[in-house]
Chains A and B, each alone.
Chain A
Amino acid sequence: MRKIAALFALSPFLLAIGVLWAPQAHASTAGFQAGDIMNDTVMAKSKSMTVTQIQHFLDSKVPTCDTNGNQNSEMNNSGVPDYNGNGSIQRWEWGKKKYGQTKFVCLKNYSKNGKSAAQIIYDAGQTYSINPQSLIVLLQKEQGLVTDTWPLNIQYRTATGYGCPDTAPCDSQYYGLTNQLKWAAKMFRSIMDQDPDWYSPYVKGTNARVYWHPDTGRCGYASLNIRNWTTASLYSYTPYRPNQAALDAGYGTGNSCSSYGNRNFYSYFTDWFGSTRTVLVKVGSSPAIYLVWGSNYYPVPSNTILSAYGLTDKTVATVSQSQLDTYTLGPALSRVVRFGSDPTVFLVDGGDIHPVTSWGLLANYDYNSSDKIDFSDTTVKDLFSVAPTLKTLARKSDGSIYVADASKKRLFPDSATFSTLAASLSDDGTKSYSNLSKTLVDSLSDGSPVLLDGKIVKSKSTSTVYLYENNSLLPYSASEWSAWGKKLDYDFFSASSLSQITPAGDTPGYFATNGSTNYVVSGGKKYSMGPTTMTAWGMVNGDFDTRTNASLSRLSSAGSIGSLISNSSGGVYKVLSGAAIPYVTSGDFTGSGNSWSSVVKVPNEVISSLDSSSSIVFKPGSLIRQPNGAVSLIDSGFVRHSIPSMEIFNAYGFKWSSVRNYGQNSLDVYTDEPLKSLALVSGSTHYLADSGRLFMVSPTAYGSSQFNFSPSNEVALQSSKTISGLDKSKTLEQFITSSSSPIIYKVINGQKRPLASMASFYANGGGTTKLRVLSQTFIDSLPTGAVLN
């Protein structure tokens, strides 16, 4: 309940919030034109307000009338008695002393012969076809009557100041509000109509001496072109022109040569009723619109031009042809203008004029000298704000920036591009731009966008993605785009703008170079390829497409690529001599000593670019049988050791179950070094294959003092993996025998010397751990020496 009561208590304030949300007009002396204070159209607008509206306006300017003069007097109270002895001088006391007046009638309450002041003002306007708003302003600027909360009777007597010279008493024949308004309106109308019985000191279209101040000798005058009859009538009424100090002071005080009558007329009218100059007119029902300025009128050819001149918010007054004919026809408005004898050419846009430094620069905006019009009336320039010199860099209100280039607009797609390239593309080598309207900029057709090298783009209406570099577009295939990481920087260009960039006869590709480092492109990364790998890939420098560093920077660096690659379905290859040789099992891959981390997944197209091969990569130690029956032991380095006989096969202890069958060409890439019973493994360890095992042969046993083996009878096995899994548990000893003979031999100097007896065996250094059982074939291969006792 209390809250509801509080709401009601607040209700007046809440209502006030709503009421005070009213448009507030605030103007200064900005726009004051001494030679064109008000134009004829506005002064002649007799129907601008109804009586009711005038009354409402007068009511609004005096919210509370001090009818009884009870407020303190703001006048010079010197000599005014404090009649009521309250210690201060009230207005009624002042009025009583000076004028015998103690009651005050505000303008809003004024009535004479049954007519209100609003009615009197309205009637004078209708009688003489004068804007009642001008008459209201006249009452204020002459007597302060509109805002006065305690007007004196003398103020109504000379309400418009008519018949009141500066330094003499007023002429009483003009006394009274009605009379004053009538004579003022009549004078305005007579001068505007150039009534042959009415002369004025000022003539439209002439350069008149208009003085600054009544002290004409001290303050002097300036020559002023009087541009219309209304302004002539205003100076005829109040013959002084406000100087700059008066204009700068707003409603305040200027300097000793300042006059305020015409300034106040302009300021009050602008603040209370709007512009004193209707600049746009049309004749009757004709749609053609004209700009009226000074003594000329100019056809407005289009809404675009209207907008360019900043006039779209101006109301269009309807006039008669005869009224329009009082002005001189000027050229149809254009965006390209000059004023008077000033050689400067301007481009008009959004109410601004941009000075143009050259026709060449303007041509970028698709305008030339044939578009130019000349305003002989240089005051038309007051319509505009002077903007900075026109630049080829143009910014629209939405923030987008273009460079105007040969009648086209080229978009900077982002701030980074603008920051980097704008200066190089601008007319003056700087990044300064002109703020221009959407209409002007969009009137230019799309040119190619401004792009930095390495940007990846597509149009909004097509699907092709391009790499941009060196003023060209390189189209990606779907796979290439994927290899380049499916990046996309801009997808909003029109197809027509992109089509203006030269298409390159090249694609971004999978093999790229910056001239010093070669790369394979895959998965958004770049893998450097060194000389060794290039040899394995069978590639030369010319196989790599030169790309800019900017383009290559779009790829993250991923180290180097070797000869192990995989395709999209996981197939792994070894690249050798330009061919991609597949691994068929993961065991072959890992058994070859490879790490999965060394494999680089590449696009299938990269693999397709390599020679295909029927060969297969097998791990060392693999036993591969070809359809022709040949069996090979696989070594590393693409070496195989064909097994020449079952004897050798068995000597090594190979198992048929380990043999894998592949195609005849599966070993094409391998170099064959036939397997022998004697083998040098990894260049360091000798073995003798016999009886299904490998006997390690020490250097002593190998040497001439014992078995005297020859390297020519030996096969080199590259990798120890070749014999992994085979029995290598025993070393070759000097004492040998076979399972088929009881004779024990001691091998000395390459000869087998039979031992006469077991005693001889032991006497010659033998022992059970030193006796080796070998095949009879091997034993028979050794020459026999003398018996050892």
Chain B
Amino acid sequence: MSMQKSTSKRNIILIVLGAVLLIALGIAAYLYFTPKTATTEPDTTNYAPPTSEETKQGQDIKKQIVEEDLSKNEQADTPKKTFSQQITTAEKTDGTLYVRNEIAGVYQSGTCTLTLVNGSKTVKKTAGVQALAKTSTCKGFNIPVSELSSGTWDLILSVTINDMTADDTAKVAL
């Protein structure tokens, strides 16, 4: 009777030790296969599988891309007749008046004309158009404030691309 009891007890000990060993192997495997960063900083990268929210967002993005792609393909042969642009920056900083805009559409060329009016004074600047990732912008305008007198200036930015023109206005106080 006592020999059977000791054998059973030994098996239980072996099983527990085996379980602990396997868990430890799992941890060791994770640590081994988790790559270390090249720097001495702690690696904060999340190597876990994506969460359901992350995955769903990715699927939603894909759906939208596909919809846009399919709808754009239908428009592919229809030339654009209009475009829009907005002044995004009109501010004086460190002695320079920065005027920037954003043009809807990706264009490699075009003409931007910035007209600044303050009473009887008028200053005109021109620049080309630069393509960005999804929009375009005028290549300018950094105007030294010394070229302009103090007061409130009316800005008219006119962009011409492929015989299309779009204007936007702003005011800036100097």
Contact B137 A147 (CB under 8 A): no
Expressed in whole angstroms, the Cα–Cα distance for A783 and B54 within the complex equals 138
Contact A187 B133 (CB under 8 A): yes
- Chain A residues in 8 Å Cβ range of B105: 165, 167-168
Given contacts A155-B65, A199-B138, A236-B132, contact A24 B30 (CB under 8 A): no
Given contacts A21-B27, A60-B48, A169-B75, contact A163 B88 (CB under 8 A): no
> Chain A nearest CB: distance from B68 CB in Å?
8
Contact B26 A237 (CB under 8 A): no
A11-25 interface bits toward B, Cβ cutoff 8 Å, 1 = contact, 0 = none: 100111111011111
Asked whether any CB of chain A lies closer than 8 Å to the CB of B118, the reply is no
Contact A216 B37 (CB under 8 A): no
Asked whether any CB of chain B lies closer than 8 Å to the CB of A250, the reply is yes
- Chain A residues in 8 Å Cβ range of B111: none
- Chain B residues in 8 Å Cβ range of A169: 72-73, 75-76
Beta-carbon contacts under 8 Å, B7-25 to A? 11-12, 14-15, 18-19, 22-25
Asked whether any CB of chain A lies closer than 8 Å to the CB of B163, the reply is no
> Chain A nearest CB: distance from B34 CB in Å?
8
Contact B59 A144 (CB under 8 A): yes
Q: Which of B28, B65, B67, B93 contacts A203 (CB 8 A)?
A: B93
Given contacts A166-B134, A168-B72, A187-B133, contact A208 B89 (CB under 8 A): yes
- Chain A residues in 8 Å Cβ range of B73: 169
Beta-carbon contacts under 8 Å, A156-187 to B? 158, 160-171, 183-184, 187
Contact B37 A48 (CB under 8 A): yes
- Chain A residues in 8 Å Cβ range of B56: 251
Contact B47 A22 (CB under 8 A): yes
Residue of B nearest to A253 (CB): B60
- Chain B residues in 8 Å Cβ range of A208: 88-89, 91, 100
Given contacts A21-B30, A201-B102, A264-B57, contact A56 B35 (CB under 8 A): yes
Contact B59 A4 (CB under 8 A): no
- Chain B residues in 8 Å Cβ range of A544: none
Asked whether any CB of chain B lies closer than 8 Å to the CB of A575, the reply is no
Residue of B nearest to A180 (CB): B133
Given contacts A7-B18, A209-B87, contact A239 B135 (CB under 8 A): yes
Expressed in whole angstroms, the Cα–Cα distance for A753 and B64 within the complex equals 153
In this complex, the member of A23, A47, A76 whose beta carbon has the largest number of chain B beta carbons within 10 angstroms is A23
Asked whether any CB of chain A lies closer than 8 Å to the CB of B169, the reply is no
Expressed in whole angstroms, the Cα–Cα distance for A183 and B106 within the complex equals 13
Contact A199 B130 (CB under 8 A): yes
Expressed in whole angstroms, the Cα–Cα distance for A10 and B20 within the complex equals 12
Residue of A nearest to B139 (CB): A199
Q: Which of A155, A210, A239 contacts B62 (CB 8 A)?
A: A155
- Chain B residues in 8 Å Cβ range of A307: none
> Chain B nearest CB: distance from A165 CB in Å?
5
Number of interface residues of A (CB under 8 A): 93
A276-310 interface bits toward B, Cβ cutoff 8 Å, 1 = contact, 0 = none: 00000000000000000000000000000000000
Expressed in whole angstroms, the Cα–Cα distance for A50 and B59 within the complex equals 27
Asked whether any CB of chain A lies closer than 8 Å to the CB of B148, the reply is no
Asked whether any CB of chain A lies closer than 8 Å to the CB of B151, the reply is no
Q: Which of A210, A216, A236, A238 contacts B84 (CB 8 A)?
A: A216
- Chain B residues in 8 Å Cβ range of A75: 62-63, 66
Contact B48 A24 (CB under 8 A): yes
Asked whether any CB of chain B lies closer than 8 Å to the CB of A751, the reply is no
Residue of A nearest to B91 (CB): A206
Asked whether any CB of chain B lies closer than 8 Å to the CB of A140, the reply is yes
Residue of A nearest to B52 (CB): A251
In this complex, the member of B46, B65, B98, B133 whose beta carbon has the largest number of chain A beta carbons within 10 angstroms is B133
- Chain B residues in 8 Å Cβ range of A273: 44-46
Expressed in whole angstroms, the Cα–Cα distance for A273 and B76 within the complex equals 39
B35-57 interface bits toward A, Cβ cutoff 8 Å, 1 = contact, 0 = none: 10111011111111111011111
A-B interface pairs (CB < 8 A), number: 244
- Chain B residues in 8 Å Cβ range of A210: 88
> Chain B nearest CB: distance from A483 CB in Å?
62
Contact B46 A18 (CB under 8 A): no
Residue of B nearest to A163 (CB): B106
In this complex, the member of B14, B53, B106 whose beta carbon has the largest number of chain A beta carbons within 10 angstroms is B106
Expressed in whole angstroms, the Cα–Cα distance for A22 and B29 within the complex equals 11
Asked whether any CB of chain B lies closer than 8 Å to the CB of A211, the reply is yes
In this complex, the member of B87, B101, B137 whose beta carbon has the largest number of chain A beta carbons within 10 angstroms is B137
> Chain B nearest CB: distance from A50 CB in Å?
5
Residue of B nearest to A198 (CB): B130
Residue of B nearest to A273 (CB): B45
Beta-carbon contacts under 8 Å, A473-513 to B? none
Contact B89 A154 (CB under 8 A): no
Residue of A nearest to B77 (CB): A169
Asked whether any CB of chain A lies closer than 8 Å to the CB of B104, the reply is yes
- Chain A residues in 8 Å Cβ range of B69: 154
Q: Which of B11, B88, B133 contacts A183 (CB 8 A)?
A: B133
Given contacts A163-B106, A165-B105, A199-B139, contact A146 B58 (CB under 8 A): yes
Beta-carbon contacts under 8 Å, A22-74 to B? 22-26, 47-50, 52-53, 56-57, 60-61, 63, 74
Residue of B nearest to A140 (CB): B58
Q: Which of B29, B39, B87 contacts A18 (CB 8 A)?
A: B29
Beta-carbon contacts under 8 Å, B124-150 to A? 130-135, 137-140
Contact B133 A237 (CB under 8 A): yes
Residue of B nearest to A224 (CB): B88
Asked whether any CB of chain B lies closer than 8 Å to the CB of A658, the reply is no
Expressed in whole angstroms, the Cα–Cα distance for A141 and B41 within the complex equals 26
Asked whether any CB of chain A lies closer than 8 Å to the CB of B61, the reply is yes
Residue of B nearest to A263 (CB): B57
Contact A148 B62 (CB under 8 A): yes
Asked whether any CB of chain B lies closer than 8 Å to the CB of A271, the reply is yes
Given contacts A4-B15, A15-B25, A239-B134, contact A167 B53 (CB under 8 A): no
Asked whether any CB of chain A lies closer than 8 Å to the CB of B109, the reply is no
> Chain B nearest CB: distance from A14 CB in Å?
4
- Chain A residues in 8 Å Cβ range of B67: 76
- Chain A residues in 8 Å Cβ range of B62: 75, 143-144, 148, 152, 155
- Chain B residues in 8 Å Cβ range of A272: 45-46
Given contacts A143-B61, A169-B76, A315-B42, contact A250 B134 (CB under 8 A): no
Asked whether any CB of chain B lies closer than 8 Å to the CB of A200, the reply is yes
Expressed in whole angstroms, the Cα–Cα distance for A328 and B101 within the complex equals 26
Given contacts A14-B22, A144-B57, A168-B72, contact A184 B133 (CB under 8 A): yes
> Chain B nearest CB: distance from A279 CB in Å?
14
> Chain A nearest CB: distance from B139 CB in Å?
5
- Chain A residues in 8 Å Cβ range of B101: 201
Expressed in whole angstroms, the Cα–Cα distance for A214 and B105 within the complex equals 12
- Chain B residues in 8 Å Cβ range of A166: 104, 134
Expressed in whole angstroms, the Cα–Cα distance for A17 and B53 within the complex equals 24
Residue of A nearest to B47 (CB): A60
Asked whether any CB of chain A lies closer than 8 Å to the CB of B80, the reply is yes
Contact B75 A201 (CB under 8 A): no
- Chain A residues in 8 Å Cβ range of B174: none
In this complex, the member of B15, B28, B100 whose beta carbon has the largest number of chain A beta carbons within 10 angstroms is B100
Given contacts A50-B38, A164-B106, A201-B137, contact A252 B53 (CB under 8 A): yes
Contact B140 A199 (CB under 8 A): yes
Q: Which of B22, B66, B93, B130 contacts A11 (CB 8 A)?
A: B22
* Interface residues in chain A, defined as those with a beta carbon under 8 Å from any beta carbon in chain B: 3-4, 6-7, 10-11, 14-19, 21-26, 47-50, 52-53, 56-57, 60-61, 63, 74-76, 98, 133, 140-148, 152, 154-155, 158, 160-171, 183-184, 187, 198-203, 205-211, 214, 216, 221, 236-239, 250-252, 264, 268, 271-274, 315, 317
Q: List 19 A-B contacts (CB under 8 A).
A: A7-B19, A10-B19, A15-B22, A24-B48, A50-B38, A53-B35, A60-B48, A63-B49, A75-B62, A142-B65, A152-B66, A167-B72, A167-B105, A170-B72, A200-B137, A201-B101, A206-B91, A209-B88, A238-B134
List 4 additional A-B contacts (Cβ < 8 Å) besides A60-B47, A207-B91.
A14-B26, A211-B86, A239-B88, A268-B54
What 8 A-B pairs have minimum CB-CB distances, sorted nearest first? A18-B26, A144-B58, A274-B44, A15-B26, A144-B61, A18-B27, A251-B57, A147-B58
